[in-house]
Amino acid sequence: MIDLHYWPTPNGHKITIFLEETGLAYRILPVDIGKGAQFQRSFLAISPNNRMPAIVDRAPSDGGAQVSVFESGAILLYLAEKTGKLLPQDLRGRTRVLEWLFWQVGGLGPMAGQNHHFRNYAVEKIPYAIDRYVNETNRLYGVLDRQLSKCDYVAGDYSIADIAIYPWIVPYEHQGQTLEHFPNVKRWFELVSSRPAVERAYAQAAPYRRERQGFTEDERRILFGQTSQTVGNAV
Ligand SMILES: N[C@@H](CCC(=O)N[C@@H](CS)C(=O)NCC(=O)O)C(=O)O
């Protein structure tokens, strides 16, 4: 049984997709990031970056004490190694998947995240910041499109690379992008969207979704107002 500390955001969806694809038993422990649950001491003990997702594996493959993992890329890698699924074992196949996994966690995720922030969430609309992140997201979509012109999935067969990237393409309209400009991304996006496990993973989000758009003042302070001094006293 895997404990998944989760909230329905792109980084959270990565892990439910993996778990649904592989059938590993799991339970969701919600981390309401708008209420500051990510700063609770018990959560910081397993996720020192005060971000979700994080997992606790109570039955690790070495038979030892439970293992906790934070950072979505590290979690996907850990679970792929635990199950022997969705990550090739040969040197070249594995390296290719890891390249695109790291491309997502180091590039697409942070850039699209800042794009969401400045384009959609910031009270003050700063044209330079919006252009910078919309353009950089656009460049990254172009990189992905070129890669997907060579293969059905990002790194050969369907893998943790696709699982990491897909949830960051789902909100493409919020990133000021259109898939019509990226035909290979569009084809791949439709292919991944139609996977039953992906549909089941997104269905897990339903109980935690809120109707209201935008953030309250408290949520803005909790999500966008932290410094090194406030973490741990944020709630
Ligand atoms: N690099 C981290 C990013 C995780 C992350 O940013 N999680 C966000 C939600 S998508 C979060 O927990 N935000 C809470 C906050 O900003 O306080 C990963 O890939 O796991």
The whole-number mean pLDDT for each consecutive block of 10 residues of the chain, a chain of 235 residues, reads 97 98 98 95 96 98 98 98 98 98 98 97 97 98 98 98 99 98 98 98 94 88 91 64
Residue 212: the pLDDT is 81
Cα(51) to centroid(ligand 1), Å: 4
Report the SS3 class of residue 154.
coil
Q: Cα(71) to centroid of ligand 1, in Å?
A: 8
Output the pLDDT for position 77.
98
CA distances from 224 to 25, 66, 107, 217, 218 (A): 34, 32, 20, 10, 10
Q: Which atom of ligand 1 is nearest to the CA of 33?
A: 14
Q: List the residue whose alpha carbon is closest to atom 11 of ligand 1.
A: 51
Tell me the C-alpha distance between 92 and 97, whole Å: 9
pLDDT of residue 232: 64
pLDDT attached to residue 231:
81
Q: Mutate which of 6, 11, 103 to test ligand 1's pocket (most atoms within 8 Å of Cβ)?
A: 11
Q: How far is the CA of 91 from the centre of ligand 1 (A)?
A: 30
Q: Percent helix, strand and coil across the chain, each rounded to 5? A: 55, 10, 35
Give the strand pairing for 2-6 and 54-57. antiparallel
| Tokens matching residue 171 | 């909100």
Distance of CA 155 from the midpoint of ligand 1 (Å): 25
Task: Name residues contacting ligand 1 (CB within 6 A).
Answer: 9-11, 33, 38, 51-53, 71-73, 105, 109, 223
Provide the strand spans (E) within the chain: 2-6, 26-30, 54-57, 67-70
Burial of 42 (0-12, 13-18, 19+ CB in 10 A): exposed
User: pTM, whole model, 2 decimals?
Assistant: 0.97
Place of tokens 């890891």: 98
From the CA of 54, how far away is ligand 1's center (Å)? 10
**What per-residue string of b and e applies to 123-139 under the rule 16 or more CB within 10 Å gives b?**
eeeeeebbeebbebbbe
